[in-house]
Each structure stands twice: as C-alpha cells, then as structure tokens.
Copies of this chain bind each other. A is one copy, B any other.
C-alpha cells in the first residue's frame, strides 16, 4: 500500500503502534505524561511539566518562494511551533533549528531567514540554542521547541479534556491565512489594509502564546491550535474527548475585510481554511464568561460540546438546522487531490 492511500492521521496512528509494540513509547523509568497525538508531548520534571513539539516547513509543500519571503519563512517556521506550545498553555523556552538548503542558495537569503526567525524568538521570549545545517536539493526548515507548563501545579491544555455542556470558543478571526494564500497565489488585488492583513495572517502569524497561558490559569483544560481548519481541529478535540460538537454558523468570527474581499467564500475559508494558528478551546459557562474580560484578544463563543454523536461536528445554520457540509476534511497532508497540493 502506498502512503498516498492513507490519511496523515492514519499514518501517525499506525506508526505509533509500531513504536508501542517495540516498547519504545516509554523508558524503563517512566511513561511520558503525554505521548503522540496532541499538539505537543509532555513529561514530568521534579518541579514542573516539560513540553516539546516539532514541525517542519518544506518548499513546494508548505510554502513557495513566490508567496513567502525568506524573512517571513523564518518567522513562520518558529511561529507554527510556538503555536503548538501555546495550545498546551505552555511557556516556550528553547528552539533547535534544522535547516536544509541547496548549494546554490544565496547566503544573504539564509541571513534573512534567520533574522525573521530570531525576531519571532525575541518577541515570544524563546532562545535559539542549537540545530543542524545540511546541504539538500530541497529547502526545508524543521524546528524542535521545548517549553514548560505555565501552571503552578502543572496542568496542561489537551485535546482530550472537553466535556458535554462546555462552550466552544476561538480566539481572533478565522480563515484569514487561507484567504491570504488565495490572494497571493492568484495575485488578487485588494486595498492596502486588506492586503496587509491577509499577507500577515498567512506568512507571519502571531501565535497565541500569552492567551494559551491565560486560558490554563483560568482553568480551561481543553484546547488545540487551528492548523488544519476549524472543523478538522474541532473533530480532533471531539475524537480525543469522545464527545460531539455543535457549531452555530452565524457565530463564526469572520473579519469584515475578508468578508468584503471574499464574499460568500468567506464561510468556507473560516470553517476549513488551515493555518490560522488561533486557539480553539472549550470550558463550562462559568469559566468561559469571565474569561472574555481577562483576555485582550477577541474571543468568540461559537458552539457547545454535546454527549451525542461522539467524534462528530455538526454545523447549525441560523434557522437551527444541521447543514450538510461537504468540506469536513480540512487539510489532510497526504490524501490525493487535497489542499496540500495547492499550497
């Protein structure tokens, strides 16, 4: 069987089983607190919980030089990892960078890439302390990021903690990154404010690092960052927590500038466009309502966790009817004919 016949999630599941079958999912002394399958992995240290995540950007797969500058690429490569630590409520600390590039790469381009990455590191108080450089026919950048839990008693935000009755909320606006990609790929022309908003959303996302820590401190326990698209990432929470979800379409936060630029396509971009790097989280109403006052970024309640239909996400329209949404698969990196081909 070719890997193209399997989804990314299935591949990860099957490979994880091999690791477990060989006994390599733990050391002799300890089982990690959180293994494969969440935004980051985690383990106990004497006085804290430690976190680690890794994410790679590959030319032609995750970015193209026509739509992303070297500086933006450096920023984004770190930002997507920061977002994974943010989604656990963690404090990012140390980054290891593996850079691979063709021999005819201009050194100045690498400098620009490192400047972008270093600026993201500085902004989010992360130290770049190691790595590996390789010559390769293909440009790629892989980062491993290590952090600790921001919670005194060592709590974490995980995908598996959603409970029926929880409200579902998101930070910021959705779909801006995929709208930005569409604009860049098709040379769409908008006013300057819209152009800047969309380009920045796609190429220089701001990971919700502080917000993730605040969520954890306010006793939120279930969260994920939106990298595959709202529906897909909410499905991950539902599957890991064994619950269902109902989303009210008229509550989805769509930025007015995106609405003007993309009209009726906006809803689709917001529901299944990937790479938003906003946080999607759930909590009981008595936790959720005061939260909105404590966090400075927009927080929108978009639905509710239910006990019915575990693993499933239902979209409800303004008339209270369930919508048959075709594009529930979000962004799957391996299935053929998917969005990863376009980017």
Contacts and interface: CB of A to CB of B under 8 A. Distances in A.
A24 B126 contact: yes
Given A18-B115, A46-B47, 11 more contacts: A1-B106, A4-B104, A8-B133, A41-B130, A53-B96, A54-B144, A56-B142, A61-B134, A61-B135, A61-B136, A133-B334
B2 A105 contact: yes
Interface of A: 1-6, 8, 11-12, 14-15, 18-19, 21-28, 32, 34-36, 40-41, 43, 45-48, 52-56, 58, 60-62, 93-94, 96-98, 100-101, 103-108, 110-111, 114-115, 117-119, 121-122, 125-138, 140, 142, 144, 146, 333-334, 336, 340
A182 B205 CA distance: 47
Contacts of A108: 1
State how many copies of this chain the complex holds: 2
A275 to B, nearest CB: 14
Contacts of A62: 134
A93 B27 contact: yes
| Interface-central residue, A14, A129, A137, by most chain B CB under 10 Å | A129
Summarize A's interface: helix, strand, loop or mixed.
Answer: mixed
B46 A106 contact: no
Contacts of A27: 93, 125-127
Given A18-B118, A27-B126, A333-B133, A107 B58 contact: no
